[in-house]
Amino acid sequence: MKKIIKVTGYLILCFLLIGVGVYLYIFREQQINILLIPNEFTYCGKQIYGNNADYKEIVSWLNNNKNGWVTSYVSFIPKQTYKSASFQVNILDNAVVVAYKTDYGYPQFIKRTDHRMSKKCIKQLTTK
């Protein structure tokens, strides 16, 4: 009987350690791959690229904030989005969500922050 309790205790401990390890691996801080940022986005219903101020703003922000992202499995309502075929940025009130295509799928990352980016597109969409 003592042997069964001991084995059961070790199994529970092993599963608990594996669970904690998986949790820490999945929700670790990560760096987004800024090399995948496209040359143009669709933003506010128009194509923006290169010398466009809106394009410069989002690319500059992503370059300066490439660290500290966490994998997210939650779907977020699109607010102010920068879209391309393989890269999407969703600007929320207190967070930024980035998703992009890789060889392994379409991972999504979130960074909760006071981003201070303009909300011009949101204003345009709500006034129509």
**pLDDT tens profile 45-73:** 899 988 898 999 999 999 999 998 998 88
**According to the model, what pLDDT value does residue 102 have?**
87
**What pLDDT, on a 0 to 100 scale, did the predictor assign at position 89?**
93
The residue among 30 and 80 whose pLDDT is bigger is 80
Predicted confidence at residue 24, as pLDDT, reads 64
Asked if 89 contacts 74 with a C-beta cutoff of 8 angstroms, the reply is: no
8 Å CB contact between 84 and 37 = no
Percent of residues, the chain, with pLDDT higher than 90: 34
Q: What is the pTM of this model?
A: 0.73
As a whole number of angstroms, the distance between CA 78 and CA 99 comes to 12
Give me the pLDDT at residue 17, please.
Answer: 84
Q: Does the pLDDT of residue 20 top 90, yes or no? A: no
Helix (H, G, I), strand (E, B) or coil at 13: helix
Backbone φ and ψ of 24, nearest 5°:
-65, -35
